[in-house]
């Protein structure tokens, strides 16, 4: 189509043409210095319509969901917009997926196990899921968010490599009281206690435990460390020891424990004499033995050595005083 520029210099042309209700062509021109033409071609969007048969009250429920999900048409909640969002899988409706308390505890245990195994990436993935879906109390949530933002380094693979090569190493450790301790490690073993792996080491240093177990100097060189509290590891030269220090502890089980007791890896002797069961065990850490014995109460007695018996006695004395029970000196 050709237009005479002089024609547009003299007139204002407005043409509106409607055909079959589908197309609108608007041409407006204003004569100034040169002729200008604009064509605007618009096609209305074609929409599908559906008719729903719903029980009474459903419309209000749909509007409530749309309002909760912030889906509006103008000022009113949009059911149409809600249906589109559902079809496009951009929203979740219904009861949100959350974790109950048992599932939260299980995932926390899994996170510890993954961290202890040095699988930090997998631990972070589970941790993120727990934070997102755990429905957690604020203190626990804040603690987990801190863990997620400050992931621990997985030292276990490196330590196990040093153990395999019998390579001594220097270890920096932060204990539960936030004290930093330095250890020169000449032997190490990975052990499992109460649902978690720990690193048992023989180290040259003794000062930090001499006051804790003054009556057990045989075990002053042994430590039990959590993998997630290890700060750094550095290989050093020197000799590697064959094993941890240990003492023999004589245990006696009675009652239901005579048949229920299950042998441990460190048990050296096990025999039943009459109505009692006697076990001799190699012990490298007194803490875990006392934890075990305390579960059995009167059905388990430490017979020897006297230093271990005294530690149990002191625990019982402290417990009696805590509950206002009179005891003899």
Average of per-residue pLDDT values in the chain: 83
Banded pLDDT at 115 (limits 50, 70, 90)? confident
Residue ranges making up the domain that contains 253: 247-322
What mean pLDDT is predicted for residues 202-224? 95
Counted domains in the chain: 5
Same domain, 171 and 142: no
Using CB atoms within 10 A of its CB, is residue 289 exposed (0-12), middle (13-18) or buried (19+)?
buried
What mean pLDDT is predicted for residues 189-206? 92
Is the per-residue pLDDT at 310 higher than 50?
yes
Tell which residue, 221, 119, 226, has the closest CA to residue 174. Answer: 226
Residue 14 resides in a domain: yes
The neighbour count for residue 129, using CB atoms within 10 Å, is: 13
Residue with tokens 């490690």: 185
**What is this structure's pTM?**
0.64
The pLDDT tens digits of the residues spanning 59-71 come to 898 999 889 889 9
For residue 12, what pLDDT is reported? 35
Of 94 and 132, the one with more pLDDT: 132
What mean pLDDT is predicted for residues 182-211? 94
Residue 56 resides in a domain: yes
What mean pLDDT is predicted for residues 222-250? 95
Residue 242 resides in a domain: no
């Amino acid at each position: 189509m050709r237009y005479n520029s002089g024609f547009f210099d003299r007139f204002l042309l407005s043409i509106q043409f409607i055909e079959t209700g589908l197309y609108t062509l608007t041409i407006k021109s204003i004569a100034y210095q040169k002729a200008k033409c604009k064509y605007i071609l618009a096609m209305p969007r074609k929409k599908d319509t559906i008719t729903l048969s719903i029980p009474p009250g459903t419309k209000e429920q749909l509007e409530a969901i749309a309002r909760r999900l912030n889906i509006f048409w103008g000022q009113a909640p949009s059911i149409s917009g809600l249906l589109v969002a559902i079809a496009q899988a951009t929203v979740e409706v219904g009861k949100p997926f959350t974790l109950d308390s048992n599932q939260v505890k299980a995932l926390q245990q899994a996170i510890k196990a993954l961290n202890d195994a040095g699988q930090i990436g997998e631990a972070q993935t589970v941790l993120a899921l727990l934070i997102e879906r755990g429905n957690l109390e604020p203190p626990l949530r804040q603690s987990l968010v801190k863990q997620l933002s400050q992931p621990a380094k997985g030292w276990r693979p490196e330590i196990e490599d040093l153990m395999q090569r019998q390579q001594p190493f220097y270890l920096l450790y932060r204990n539960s009281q936030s004290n930093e301790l330095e250890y020169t490690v000449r032997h190490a073993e990975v052990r499992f206690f109460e649902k978690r792996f720990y690193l048992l080491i023989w180290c040259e240093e003794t000062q930090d435990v001499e006051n804790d177990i003054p009556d057990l100097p045989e075990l002053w060189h042994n430590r039990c460390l959590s993998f997630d509290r290890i700060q750094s590891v550095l290989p050093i030269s020197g000799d590697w020891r064959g094993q941890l220090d240990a003492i023999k502890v004589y245990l006696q089980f009675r009652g239901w424990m005579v048949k229920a007791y299950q042998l441990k890896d460190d048990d050296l002797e096990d025999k039943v004499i009459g109505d009692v069961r006697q076990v001799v065990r190699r012990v490298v850490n007194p803490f875990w033995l006392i934890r075990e014995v305390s579960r059995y109460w009167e059905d388990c007695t430490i017979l020897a050595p006297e230093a271990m018996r005294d530690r149990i006695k002191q625990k019982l004395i402290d417990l009696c005083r805590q509950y206002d029970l009179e005891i003899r000196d």
